Amino acid sequence: MSDPSAPTASTDRARDSAPHQTDARGRVAVADIAVSLFQAQGYEATSTAQIAAAAGVSRSTFFRQFRSKDDVIFADHDELLEQIDEFFATEHPDPWLAVCDAAALVFERFRERLEIVRVRDLVVRQTSVLRDRETVMVSRYEKTFSAYLRRCLPGVDPVVAIQFAAAVTATHNFELRRMIRAIDASAVLDSAGLAAQLHAVRNRFAPVGESARGASELLVAVFSASALPADVARVIENRLRSTAI
């Protein structure tokens, strides 16, 4: 269904012909204004024309920034996913840990914007179409995380990469929602606390052979239950001596 407030050549020509300093307003800033309008008058009752007017941008500028009203509320997620791509583009000694750190980065960004994030959470919970969009957005993080692991660790089982990405995302989202909706702030994790939780997920999920690049320093030995202790000790000692040379 088309948006009745979408710009037309005739309706926006006069407005776009004049310079607008505020037309340079960033996508996240426009989104924050939209969230406040959604809270004040309802999502369905708020038009793109009203958002553009409140943000001080023309409607054509609005539609250059966003495809529709549905896209507005999650603009900061788009920006964060771009930052994660940049983060993953650099070298990391432990890709599993890099995924955890990327999730912690997202948490910290939302913690810094907690007031508006709380408002958005209320709006999303009250609007079914936005709840659906939020589910899609969560899946984008999971896909980004699992794709990075499979790219950096070609031998990783794809199922393990997907499970790990889902576990990291779920842990992040649980703690994020607890922070957003908390009455007692003392029970809420800070960024360091979340990082510790995510690192614990990494230790449970990441196979030993796929951990940090220094995994070659580990020695794993498997023996029959009937093996004599002296034989086990001798084999391990010989193996350690051979790797030390």
CA 17/CA 51 separation, integer angstroms:
20
Number of compact structural domains in the chain: 2
Q: What is the pLDDT of residues 40-72, one digit of tens each?
A: 999 999 999 999 999 998 888 898 888 888 888
The DSSP code for 47 is: -
Distances (CA, A) of 189 to 121, 181, 192, 193, 195: 18, 12, 8, 5, 9
Please state, in angstroms and rounded to a whole number, the distance separating the CA atoms of residues 64 and 72.
12
Same domain? 114 vs 164 = yes
pTM score, whole prediction: 0.71
What's the pLDDT tens digit per position in 195-232? 889 999 998 886 544 444 444 445 555 555 666 677 66
CATH number for position 155: 1.10.357.10
Residues 61 and 96 in one domain: no
What's the token pair of residue 210? 């796929």
**Separation CA 49–CA 43 (nearest Å):** 13
Interval 154-182: pLDDT, tens: 989 999 999 999 999 999 999 999 999 88
Across residues 134-151, what is the average pLDDT? 94
Last residue of a domain, one of 41, 56, 72: 72
* Residue type present at position 34: A
pLDDT in tens, 70-114: 888 888 998 999 999 999 999 999 999 999 999 999 999 999 999
Give the CA distances from residue 172 to residues 85, 114, 192, in Å, rounded to whole numbers and listed in that order: 18, 15, 12
Range of the structural domain that residue 40 is part of: 9-72
* Burial class of 144 by CB neighbour count within 10 A (0 to 12, 13 to 18, 19+): middle
